[in-house]
Amino acid sequence: MRKTMRMIRDIAERGGTVLWTGPPPAIYHEDGRDALSDWKSTFGIESVREPWNGLNAEGAAVSFLGDLKQVPTYKVLTHLLPDLVYPVEPASETTAVACTRIGGESLTLGTLKRTAKGGTLAFLGARPRDDQSGSLPDRPRTLFHLLRALGTYRDFGAGWAEIVSNTGGLVVCESPNGAVTVTHHYYNVQENWSGGFFRPEGEKFDESVLPPSKLSLVEAKLGPYRVSYEGERLMSFRLAGGKLAAFAGHATTGITINGREYRFTDSPCLVSFAPIPREQLADGVERAWIIQCARAGEGSGELILRLPFEVPDGARWAVDAMANGRGTPSPASYTRARGETVLRLPPEMQGPAVLLFVDK
């Protein structure tokens, strides 16, 4: 707990944001000494309800003000331990940002303290409900709105994917390497499992309740990206230096990102390609990519795949049928021009993963 308290102070003093919700701490677990005093000093709090003595606020409305006024009001759900509230009195350097009324008495439940370097220490002495599945009529999204109001999620910065996912019908994930994955949300699908391991014979699932399998985007605003796309199920892309470096999509011919069109195939196909990190390359290999392409519909014969980068001369490829990074190499069939490489995939290289590589 002492390490946690130091970390909280360090984050805020460096300009970061800390949000503490629910009861305050009582003691340090390392030695049983008082932790509440240090916690109050850190968060700029004069006094707070003891963590073992929370108030029953069932049905009470929690409202936000000041810097958090954009957070919608929500109601405390139950009288149970997770929903007990902890009224607080802010110190002089701290402002009140949340309140409620219990038995006709107005109580402060939230505070906000700024540090010299622009850091934020926020406290809410209540459980911030976040009904992502919409299981209750009021569907509060308090935790999400709190984090957004505090600047943790930004429209074009850190956390933009959370904003898109929580305010529309798409779920978007941004990986640490910058890859973006998009698909339809399933949170509106009501779950009702009757039990057992299998659906009873003859019982059909009502697929009409599912989101469409078709993924259609027209100038969709995804954080720093504007994306147009037609395909099935889900799609992923990654830019490097402003150019498309990796992609995966189903039943698609291409994608447009920030006004630049990338057309991979002439008919809908399963398409994926990505560079293989240098640390994963075999001895003697300079550069390599993993590629997969197959027709989504009818058709046979050679398949043309356009890659949005130039592959050097002398590249070879191998079918990685066992997905173990091994195969029998042969000269790759391709041409390149104006920042693009056109691969000519014979039938045996359509479907399984293909390793495309250049030797040193």
The verdict on residue 157 lying in a domain is no
Domain assignment of residue 158, yes or no:
no
DSSP 325-349: S----EE--EEEETTEEEEEE-GGG
Check if the beta carbon of residue 93 is closer than 8 Å to that of residue 113.
Answer: yes
Residues 297 and 184 in one domain: yes
In a domain, 162, yes or no: no
The pLDDT of residue 124: 98
**Does a structural domain hold residue 99?**
yes
pLDDT for the residue numbered 237: 98
Is 86 in the same domain as 13? yes
The verdict on residue 311 lying in a domain is: yes
Q: How far apart are CA 114 and CA 44, in angstroms?
A: 9
Residues 68 and 178 in one domain: no
Structural domain includes residue 285:
yes
User: 144: domain CATH number?
Assistant: 3.40.50.880
The CA radius of gyration of the chain, in Å to the nearest whole number, is 27
pLDDT at 191: 67
Residues 351 and 209 occupy one common structural domain: yes
Do the domain assignments include residue 281?
Answer: yes
Answer whether 155's CB lies under 8 Å from 222's CB: no
Average the pLDDT over 195-221 and give the result: 84
What does the alpha-carbon distance between residue 197 and residue 191 come to, in Å, rounded to a whole number?
Answer: 15
The CA distance from 127 to 147, in Å, is 14
Task: Please indicate, yes or no, whether residues 181 and 244 belong to a single structural domain of this protein.
Answer: yes
Domains of the chain: total? 2
Range of the domain at 40: 2-149
Question: Is the residue at 163 inside a domain?
Answer: no
The one-letter code for the residue type at 125 is G
Helix, strand, coil percentages (3-state) for the chain, rounded to 5, are: 15, 40, 45
User: 3-state class of 255 per DSSP?
Assistant: strand
Q: Select the more confidently predicted residue: 36 or 206.
A: 36
Same domain for 145 and 71: yes
pLDDT value at residue 309: 96
Task: Please check the confidence at residue 327 and state whether its pLDDT lies above 80.
Answer: yes
DSSP H/E element including 145: helix 142-149
Which pLDDT band holds residue 119 (cuts at 50, 70, 90)? Answer: very high
Do residues 210 and 77 share a domain? Answer: no
- pLDDT at residue 208 greater than cutoff 80: no
76 and 210 share a domain? Answer: no
Contacts of 137 (CB under 8 A, 6+ apart): none
pLDDT (tens digit per residue) in 125-142: 999 998 877 778 888 999
Are residues 127 and 180 located together in one domain of the fold? no
Closest by CA position to 62, among listed 104, 124, 147: 124
Q: State residue 105's pLDDT score.
A: 94
What pTM does this model have?
Answer: 0.85
Pick from 131, 22, 39, 27: which is nearest to 80 by CA? Answer: 22
Residues 256 and 347 in one domain: yes
One-letter amino acid of 345: L
Q: Write down the pLDDT at residue 326.
A: 82
Segment 145-170, tens digit of pLDDT: 999 999 999 998 889 999 999 999 99
Does residue 276 share a domain with residue 132?
no
Per-residue model confidence as pLDDT tens digits over 277-306: 999 999 999 999 999 999 998 888 999 999
Tell me the pLDDT band of 209, cut-offs 50, 70 and 90: confident
Residue 206 binned pLDDT confidence (cut-offs 50, 70, 90): confident
Whether residue 222 sits in one domain with residue 95:
no
**Residue 298: what pLDDT?**
85
Name the β-bridge partners of 293.
271
